[in-house]
Copies of this chain bind each other. A is one copy, B any other.
Amino acid sequence: MTMLEQRKQRLAAFIRQVWDGGDADAADSYVADTYTIRHDPGDPWEGQALDRAGFKDRVRRSRAAFPDQRFDIQGLFADGDGVVMTWLWNGTHRGDLPGFPATDRMIRMSGATVYTFDEDDRLTGHWQITDRLGVFQQLQRNR
């Protein structure tokens, strides 16, 4: 398997274990000492360079509102130091969000994320777009 194919598998394992599974401490095996969120409109951490503890804190806080969240990976595209992941996502809205107390509804979202890697195949950051208008429309429906 080529190095780029290995990176795709590594990224898929990271998503499954850390973001789907909620094992924030597993980030130690995947994430570089600094993880930079270069572009991510609507994300509270946009523009920040997180250390390992900050990264885990972001995972835990982001997952709190949707503890059963799951990514359904649509495509993986590896080129240079980047792997792009296109994805669908769903989660039950069990925790409060700013302006939106828990609704217990199944929320769906889609997005695309460019992850970057260092020479040791550790994640150094991302550039991301999510369809946050679609999420707002689902949260606001029949309030």
Contact = CB atoms under 8 A, between A and B. Distances in A.
Query: How large, as a class, is the contact surface on chain A?
Result: 20 to 34
Interface string A73-115: 0111111101010100000000000000000000000111010
A79 B78 CA distance: 6
A34 interface: no
A57 interface: no
Number of identical monomers bound together in the oligomeric complex: 2
A130 B132 CA distance: 9
A82 B74 CA distance: 12
Interface of A: 4, 39, 41-42, 74-80, 82, 84, 86, 110-112, 114, 127, 129-134, 136
